[in-house]
Chain A
Amino acid sequence: MYKRRLLMAAAVAAAAISTEVRAEDVFKIGSSVGLTGYAAVIDRAWRDGLAVAADALNERGGLLGKKIEVVVEDNHSQPQDAVVGYRKMISSDKVNLFDSGCVSAGNFAAASFVVQASLPMYLCSILPQREQEQVWAFSFLAPPKFEIESRYRYLKEKTSVRKIGILYDPTPYALMMKGLGEQLAKDFGLEVVAQDTYKPDDADMTVQLGRINAAGGGAVVKIGQGGSTVTAAKNIKQLGLDKMLLLSSNDDGSIFKQAGEVLGDRFLFVAPPVQLPKQLKPGPTKDAVDAFLKYWAPKYPDRDPTNGARAWDSMMVLAKAAEIAKSTEGKAIRDATEKVPAYQGAYAVFNFSAKQHVGITENPFLIGKFANGELVSAE
């Protein structure tokens, strides 16, 4: 009887120790994403991009020999749910780092206690506002001026349109872009004759578009994502504005196809190289895009790769940081991320430093259009 108990105790102890060893061999990445709600399109792609990258890195031996495991929590695009999810991932899942989606408010709400836990935050969204939180956060989102500059440059160089209207939604990123849109117009010889706002779920924008047309605007620079772009395209057609151009923010390819089918070559959009892979010439950008698509395309042949590519890039930057840090400890990864040399990703070049926590420092965007059933370069 005594021996049996002793054996059982030994078995339990062995199981406990082996679990502990297994836990040490895993690098857990927590991801708070809005799988439902307004951010669902982007954040589902972000989640899938992380999963594809984790598979690719695990094939190569993981992160310094540790298997990568991605823990995903749906925040329903709500900050309150994001707070609960972040808390769970810190205290129950014991994640080593966060690589979260584009629900800015959720990431901001959690930033203070993520910093207290000394965990780096890689973000699809913009950085939190407070300096002490920015120290631990790294943004993989392009600065808003790049999207604006690409569109303005196209208008200046390829069209005769000089009067434009800005149509924007009230999200933080869109508001930043709208402010820059007003400032930068003069540099490109453009005049903003009207600006109007809309809500992402608005079913009609004829009033706003009518105002832009009445003010003499020849092109609408639309700032914001989602189905509203298709609504705007349909409204332009319904109003009979036969010469008006619609230039959209970067978004999912399915949105571009729908809007392109309505307006034809009068619909233009901002696209990173990975969204127009057939247009790429041999070189580092094409190599990076191909490396990503090798894993993405077989798994998701019908899906737009744009936001998945950004998530993929964030994981590759993490892998580089771990190599530099020679450690998977939070502080070491944070410090090493600042030292990762310029990394050519599938979405853009990422160039983090101690003073630069927004990784994209060079404009990666091209202008695209929808022609012959596919997305192609308009330049």
Chain B
Amino acid sequence: MDIYLPIANMSVNALVVILLGGGVGILSGMFGVGGGFLTTPLLILYGIPPTVAAASATTQVTGASVSGVLAHWQRDGVDVRMGILLVIGGMFGSLAGAGVFALLESAGQMDTVIAIMYVALLGSVGGLMARDAWAAISAKKSGQALFARKRRHHPLVANLPMRWRFYASGLYISPLAPLALGFFVGVLTVLLGVGGGFILVPAMIYGLGMATRVVVGTSLFQILFVTAITTMVHALTTQAVDIVLAALLLVGSVVGAQLGTRLAARLPADWLRLGLAGIILGLSLWLALGLGWRPSEIYTVQAL
């Protein structure tokens, strides 16, 4: 079933896009990440122009995170104060990101920079996750308890001035830390079409040292608002949000996410984490190889 995408100016197989959304949705439901980091590269691989892919994936992530935010909100799993700071940082980040986007686009280095950022981010996050998950699994096997981590938060965070209390997170840190984190993730949201959950969650746990109870809820809270803002930024600047593409992706991913959540309840958490780490590392390796191989097209054309 072919469908014409009015903004991407091409026709795609609707079923393929829905299944793609569904597959990403299952993963996102299982692992609690938005899945934008998978959607964007897969869409580009399918032939969607990179800008449209990134912009529409952002819109899809908004929808994919709604139900998560609601669920966490109901069981008090959102640190609103922290979340609002992250969103404010993210708002400025997405505006700055739009500037960087325009700059890269005119210099023609968009695709290379996106690929390099993906490789670096996915590689390091995947590596961290794999190490942790493996440590947890082998600790369980040998029956030895894991060593408690020596410090709560990163020394860089601890040294920032002007401390606030974040009761829900159990923290007494400077608001500058979440602002900066939000800003960084906001930039990535615009450039890569990711919600940033796969960066936010580790950064909240290892960087800020937040109570794990509120980590996922607060991260989803930030993702929901920042992707919504980013969709607006894209609509106003690049005009690359394809509403038909986003709707197709959403139909697949919201259903997939529900299935994924159910699946996750039946599988051991540590192995799940190891699995996600594997997927992330594989993707990053594949993108890294793609940078080095001779591309099938040496020339690219961009309308002025």
Q: Please indicate whether A and B come from the same complex rather than being unrelated chains.
A: no
